[in-house]
Amino acid sequence: MRYLLAVVVLNISVLLVNGGDGDCSLGCWTDNADRAIAGGIRLNSNNPVEDCRNYAREQGFSVFAVQYFTQCFTAADAAETYNKYGESSGCVNGRGGGWAQNVYQVACQGNILTSDMEVNQPDVGWNGVPERAIDGNTDGSYSQNSCTHSGRHYQNKWSVKMDDAYAISKVRIYNRLDCCQERINEVKVFAGPVYCGEIAYEANKHFYDVDCGGAVAKRITIVNSYNWLTLCEVQAFGELSSGLW
């Protein structure tokens, strides 16, 4: 049972990476004439993900899907039914396909971090200033001036302070790709004081997602113990928290 659960969790995380916009997606799922999401096509649009999200939000629904490139599906119980016919590999560019639908969460806000936030990095080397990790550019080539760089110290840190408290679902870190990729191994992520997890290095992997489980925080801190710390981009996902933090 524990093994089965692990497989399911693994599959979901893979789908989150591959399903459309990566941040708000629940993956690509099969549909048929007896619709997985009841209610039929709600609208057709050339900008279907945004328009369908807005429509679903107006209705008070939590989940919607885009199918066949322009079609919007949503329903009050979409979150319970969207996966009833199993996974599909037929989705293209986040807009689904024939009998294949990209499913999204309505409330997902995308990347919380913005380039005007306050960042901190005690040690800077090779002009790798901390602002580079939130400049909106995920390029993994150091020559593009969009990756941070520290010297080699114990407990190398980078942090960002958000304007409000968020329940952090996950933090995404884009690694450098032109050199020295392995330095990202065992980099640890914290949401406020809560330890979220650490990165296990894989060759040529551009980004890593670390699950923070909804920890409420105003600050995200990334720590590399005795190695150079380079972050080509940091993104965070979650919901604005109404808690008193």
Q: Which residues here bind Ca ion, judged by CB under 5 A?
A: 132, 135, 137, 146, 233
In the complex, minimum distance from the CB of residue 229 to Ca ion, in angstroms, rounded to a whole number: 14
**207, β-bridge pairs:** 174
> Smaller CB distance to Ca ion: residue 72 or 173?
173
Tokens found for residue 234: 């940091």
> Smaller CB distance to Ca ion: residue 79 or 177?
177
- State which amino acid sits at residue 230: T
Tokens found for residue 140: 């993994």
Q: What is the DSSP letter of 175?
A: P
DSSP string, 175-212: PP-SS-GGGGTT-EEEETTEEEEE----TT--EEEEEE
In the complex, minimum distance from the CB of residue 233 to Ca ion, in angstroms, rounded to a whole number: 4
Which residue, judged by CB position, is nearest to Ca ion in the bound state? 146
> Smaller CB distance to Ca ion: residue 135 or 239?
135
In the complex, minimum distance from the CB of residue 138 to Ca ion, in angstroms, rounded to a whole number: 6
In the complex, minimum distance from the CB of residue 50 to Ca ion, in angstroms, rounded to a whole number: 24
> Smaller CB distance to Ca ion: residue 35 or 149?
149
In the complex, minimum distance from the CB of residue 145 to Ca ion, in angstroms, rounded to a whole number: 9
Grouping H, G, I as helix, E, B as strand and the rest as coil, residue 150 is coil
Q: Do residues 15 and 211 touch, judged by C-beta distance below 8 A?
A: no
> Smaller CB distance to Ca ion: residue 106 or 187?
187
Place of tokens 């049972």: 1
